[in-house]
Amino acid sequence: MSTETTTSTGIHDPANGVTRRTGSSNIQTSAKEVTTSPPQAGLENGAAATVVETTETTAEQLRRAFRRKYRHVEALHSESRPSCLSHDTTETPSFLGFRNLMVIVLVVGNLRLVIENIQKYGVLICIGCHDFRKNDLQVGLGLYFLIPCHLLLAYLIELVAAAQARSQRLRAEKRDGTTSPTEDQLKKFQSTWKMIWVAHALNVTIALAFTTYVVYYHVHHPLIGTLAEVHAIIVWLKTASYAFTNRDLRHAYLHPVKGELDALPEIYKQCPYPNNITFSNLCYFWWAPTLVYQPVYPRSDKIRWVFVFKRVGEVICLSVFIWFCSAQYATPVLQNSLDKIASLDYFSIIERLLKLSTISLVIWLAGFFALFQSFLNALAEVTRFGDRSFYDAWWNSEGLGMYWRTWNKPVYHFFRRHVYSPMRARGWSHKTASFCVFTASAILHELLVGVPTHNLIGVAFLGMFLQLPLIQLTLPLEKRKSPSGKLLGNTIFWVSFTIFGQPFAALMYFYAWQAKYGSVSKNMASSLPPPVCPAH
C-alpha cells in the first residue's frame, strides 16, 4: 500500500478564474491498493479502522474540493424522494410551526372578538353588580365547616369497628393461616360489615342530601352553591373510599389466608391495620389531593414554598381570567341566545352554539389548568403528597373512552377501584360495570350543575350518560394503529366535546336560570347594553 503526501496543491477554479490551495496535508490514497493488498502480518483491527477512516476522510476532502472548483455541476437530484407532506414519506414531519401559527391565530381572533365585544357592550366587569347576597355567604360558610363533620363521624364508625376487630382477634383461636375463614366466621364478619355499611351509608347520604337541599332552596348564587356542592360530593366519595378500603384491610387482619398479608402493597406495611385508624390519618386523607384512601401515601421530602406561591399565583390569575371571559364575553352571548331559544330558531341557536364554543373552550382549558395543574399541585406540595399524576395527555385522546380515563384521574381511579373492579370480580360484564359507573357519574354531574342553578333539567345527566354510545363509536378507532384512525378519533372527541357538549349544556342551564330567576348580575336583566355600574 503506497501513499503520497503533498504539502500544497494548486487547483484552478474556472468559475472565478483563480487558483486555490486545497491545504497543506492532503493525503492521496489508492483505493485499489487499500482493498486488494493483503493485510500485513500483525495488523490489528484498530489499525485497519484507521486506514478506512483516513480513506473516507480523503474522499470527502476531494469531493468538497471538486464542488468548490465546479460550482455548476453539483447533482442536486441524486435520489428519489417523496414530498414532505405526502403519504409515502418515510419520515413524519414536525408540525411545531403550524402549532405556533394556530396559537397565534386563536389569540388574535379571540382578541378581536373581545375588542368587538367591549365596543358593543362596554366594560361589564363589576363586582358590585353581581347578586352576592349576605344570606348566601353565611349559608355557604356554614356548609363549608359542617360538611367535614361527616368525615369525623366516619372516623368514629371505623374506630369502633377497629376496636371490635382487635378484641375479636385476641379472643380468636390461634390459626396457622393456611385455610380460609370458616362459615361461622364469614357470617359474623358479614353481619358486622352490614351494620358498619348502614352507618356509613346513612352518614354520607345525610351529608349529601342536606347540602343539596340547602343549596337548592337557600343559596341563590350558583357560584357559592357550586362550591358547597363540590365539597359535599368530594366528602361523599372520600368517605365511601375510606369505608371500603378499611373493610378489606379489616378482613385481611382478622382472617388472613397464608400469604395474603405479604401480598398487601409494600407501602401499607408502614402503617398496618388497625394502626391507620387515627384522627391525624383521616385529616391527612381529607386534605390529600386524591379520592382513594390508603393507609400510607408516597411523600415528598420537604415543602417547596416558592413552588406553592407560584401555583397559588396561577390559580388567582386564571380565576380572574375566567371571571373576565365569563362576564365580558360569555354572558352577552348567552343573553342574546334567549330569544332564539324561546322562538325555536334552530339556525340561530346553532350559530350561538358555534360562537359560544370558542369562549367555552378557552374558559374550560383555563379551569382545567387552574384546578389540575396549579391548585392540586399546590395542595400536594403543602401536604407533601408524592403521586401527582392528576391527568395524562388527554388532549391526544383517540376516542371518548381514552379521554375519560386520562383527563380526571382522581375520579377515574375512584370509580375503577370501588365500582368497576368489584363488579367485574363478582362476575358482571364489562358493559354492565361501565353502565353503572357512568350512571353514577351522570347523577353526580346533574347534582353538581343542576342543584346550584336550581334547575334539575337532566341535561348534565344525559350529557354524561350518552358518553357510552360515543365511547362504543370511537372504540374501534382507538384500536386502529393507522394514523388516519387516530386522527379521526381525536377529531370526533374534540368536535363532540367542544361544540355539542359543553356549549349546549351551558346554554340550556343559562336559559333555565334566566327563565326562573333572571340574571345573576343586576345589570344584565335584558339583552341591551347594561348601564354603568354605580360603583364606577
Q: Which residues are catalytic?
A: 445
Residue 170: CB partners within 8 Å, gap ≥ 6?
A: none
Helix residue spans in 75-133 (DSSP H): 96-121
In the block, residue with C-alpha cell 397464608 = 258
Task: State the DSSP code for 130.
Answer: B
d(CA 452, CA 224): 8
Angle at 68 between CA 63 and CA 69, to 5 degrees: 100
- Decide if 213 contacts 264 (C-beta within 8 A): no
* CA dihedral angle for residue 83, residue 89, residue 94, residue 100, rounded to 10 degrees: 40
* 3-state SS, residue 129: coil
Q: Which one, of 340, 327, 334, lies nearest residue 356 by Cα?
A: 334
d(CA 82, CA 238): 57
Burial 14-43, CB ≥16 within 10 A → b, else e: eeeeeeeebeeebeebeeeeeeeeeeeeee
Q: Which one, of 261, 233, 242, 265, lies nearest residue 161 by Cα?
A: 242
Which set of grid coordinates corresponds to residue 465?
A: 350518560
Angle at 132 between CA 128 and CA 135, to 5 degrees: 140
d(CA 460, CA 458): 6
* 3-state SS, residue 13: strand
Distance of CA 332 to the CA centre of its chain: 30
Residue type, 305: W
Residue 55: CB partners within 8 Å, gap ≥ 6?
A: 29, 31, 34
- Decide if 416 contacts 237 (C-beta within 8 A): no
Angle at 467 between CA 485 and CA 355, to 5 degrees: 85
- Decide if 182 contacts 255 (C-beta within 8 A): no
- Decide if 227 contacts 140 (C-beta within 8 A): yes
